[in-house]
Structure 1
Amino acid sequence: MRRFNLKEFRSERNLTQKQLIAKTGIPNVTITQIENGHKSLSKELRKRIFDAFQVDERLYVA
Protein backbone atom coordinates (compact mmCIF):
# COMPACT_ATOMS: atom_id res chain seq x y z
CA MET A 1 0.00 0.00 0.00
CA ARG A 2 1.06 3.57 -0.52
CA ARG A 3 -0.10 7.00 0.52
CA PHE A 4 -2.59 8.57 -1.87
CA ASN A 5 -1.33 11.64 -3.71
CA LEU A 6 -3.86 13.21 -6.06
CA LYS A 7 -1.31 14.82 -8.38
CA GLU A 8 0.59 11.52 -8.78
CA PHE A 9 -2.66 9.61 -9.25
CA ARG A 10 -3.69 12.00 -12.02
CA SER A 11 -0.24 11.99 -13.61
CA GLU A 12 -0.04 8.17 -13.63
CA ARG A 13 -3.25 8.15 -15.67
CA ASN A 14 -2.05 10.90 -18.02
CA LEU A 15 -4.99 13.10 -17.08
CA THR A 16 -5.21 16.85 -17.11
CA GLN A 17 -6.97 18.61 -14.28
CA LYS A 18 -9.85 19.32 -16.67
CA GLN A 19 -10.24 15.61 -17.42
CA LEU A 20 -10.17 14.76 -13.71
CA ILE A 21 -12.79 17.43 -13.02
CA ALA A 22 -15.02 16.15 -15.83
CA LYS A 23 -14.82 12.58 -14.56
CA THR A 24 -15.30 13.33 -10.84
CA GLY A 25 -17.29 16.56 -10.75
CA ILE A 26 -14.87 18.01 -8.19
CA PRO A 27 -14.41 21.78 -8.72
CA ASN A 28 -11.18 23.05 -10.27
CA VAL A 29 -10.29 25.20 -7.27
CA THR A 30 -10.62 22.19 -4.96
CA ILE A 31 -8.38 20.01 -7.14
CA THR A 32 -5.76 22.77 -7.30
CA GLN A 33 -5.84 23.35 -3.54
CA ILE A 34 -5.45 19.62 -2.82
CA GLU A 35 -2.61 19.18 -5.31
CA ASN A 36 -0.78 22.21 -3.89
CA GLY A 37 -1.17 21.02 -0.31
CA HIS A 38 -3.49 23.86 0.75
CA LYS A 39 -6.43 21.57 1.40
CA SER A 40 -6.78 18.01 2.67
CA LEU A 41 -8.50 15.37 0.63
CA SER A 42 -11.69 14.43 2.48
CA LYS A 43 -13.02 10.88 2.64
CA GLU A 44 -15.96 11.94 0.46
CA LEU A 45 -13.71 13.32 -2.29
CA ARG A 46 -11.43 10.26 -2.14
CA LYS A 47 -14.47 8.04 -2.58
CA ARG A 48 -15.64 10.09 -5.58
CA ILE A 49 -12.22 9.77 -7.20
CA PHE A 50 -11.88 6.06 -6.52
CA ASP A 51 -15.44 5.37 -7.69
CA ALA A 52 -14.95 7.40 -10.88
CA PHE A 53 -11.80 5.46 -11.77
CA GLN A 54 -12.93 2.11 -10.35
CA VAL A 55 -9.89 1.91 -8.07
CA ASP A 56 -9.90 -0.18 -4.90
CA GLU A 57 -9.53 2.29 -2.04
CA ARG A 58 -7.77 -0.38 0.04
CA LEU A 59 -4.69 -0.07 -2.20
CA TYR A 60 -3.92 3.26 -0.56
CA VAL A 61 -3.23 4.29 3.01
CA ALA A 62 -5.61 6.97 4.30
Structure 2
Amino acid sequence: MAVRLNRSFSPADGCSLLNIKQEKARKLLRNLLQKNMLLSDGRGAERIRSYKLAQEVHVDSIHM
Protein backbone atom coordinates (compact mmCIF):
# COMPACT_ATOMS: atom_id res chain seq x y z
CA MET A 1 0.00 0.00 0.00
CA ALA A 2 2.75 2.45 0.96
CA VAL A 3 4.64 1.68 -2.22
CA ARG A 4 1.54 2.27 -4.34
CA LEU A 5 0.62 5.55 -2.66
CA ASN A 6 4.19 6.85 -2.56
CA ARG A 7 3.34 9.08 0.40
CA SER A 8 2.48 8.80 4.07
CA PHE A 9 -0.84 7.13 4.71
CA SER A 10 -3.50 6.81 7.39
CA PRO A 11 -5.58 3.91 8.68
CA ALA A 12 -8.44 5.30 6.57
CA ASP A 13 -6.29 4.78 3.46
CA GLY A 14 -5.80 1.18 4.51
CA CYS A 15 -9.53 0.73 5.01
CA SER A 16 -10.40 1.94 1.55
CA LEU A 17 -7.58 0.14 -0.24
CA LEU A 18 -8.01 -3.21 1.54
CA ASN A 19 -11.78 -2.95 2.04
CA ILE A 20 -11.55 -3.63 5.78
CA LYS A 21 -12.89 -1.92 8.88
CA GLN A 22 -10.86 0.73 10.68
CA GLU A 23 -10.19 -1.46 13.73
CA LYS A 24 -8.64 -4.17 11.52
CA ALA A 25 -6.58 -1.59 9.61
CA ARG A 26 -5.22 -0.11 12.84
CA LYS A 27 -4.32 -3.59 14.10
CA LEU A 28 -2.45 -4.45 10.88
CA LEU A 29 -0.60 -1.12 10.86
CA ARG A 30 0.35 -1.49 14.52
CA ASN A 31 1.71 -4.96 13.77
CA LEU A 32 3.83 -3.64 10.88
CA LEU A 33 5.05 -0.81 13.10
CA GLN A 34 6.21 -3.32 15.73
CA LYS A 35 8.06 -5.27 13.01
CA ASN A 36 9.84 -2.02 12.01
CA MET A 37 8.38 -2.16 8.51
CA LEU A 38 6.52 1.12 9.08
CA LEU A 39 7.42 4.33 10.89
CA SER A 40 5.25 6.95 12.50
CA ASP A 41 5.00 9.95 10.20
CA GLY A 42 4.48 12.78 12.58
CA ARG A 43 5.35 14.06 16.00
CA GLY A 44 3.09 11.84 18.05
CA ALA A 45 4.16 8.49 19.41
CA GLU A 46 1.12 7.87 21.55
CA ARG A 47 -1.53 8.45 18.90
CA ILE A 48 -0.23 7.77 15.42
CA ARG A 49 -2.33 9.28 12.64
CA SER A 50 -0.12 8.57 9.66
CA TYR A 51 2.57 6.10 8.72
CA LYS A 52 5.37 5.83 6.20
CA LEU A 53 7.37 2.92 4.88
CA ALA A 54 10.64 2.31 6.73
CA GLN A 55 13.70 2.95 4.57
CA GLU A 56 15.07 -0.50 5.40
CA VAL A 57 12.05 -2.15 3.77
CA HIS A 58 12.60 -2.93 0.13
CA VAL A 59 9.95 -3.77 -2.43
CA ASP A 60 11.59 -7.18 -2.91
CA SER A 61 11.11 -8.04 0.76
CA ILE A 62 7.34 -7.47 0.56
CA HIS A 63 6.88 -9.50 -2.64
CA MET A 64 5.82 -6.75 -5.03
- The structure with more radius of gyration: 2
TM range (shorter): 0.3 to 0.5
Tell me the TM-score normalised to structure 2 length: 0.34
Tell me the TM-score normalised to structure 1 length: 0.34
Larger RCO (CA under 8 A, 6+ residues apart): 1
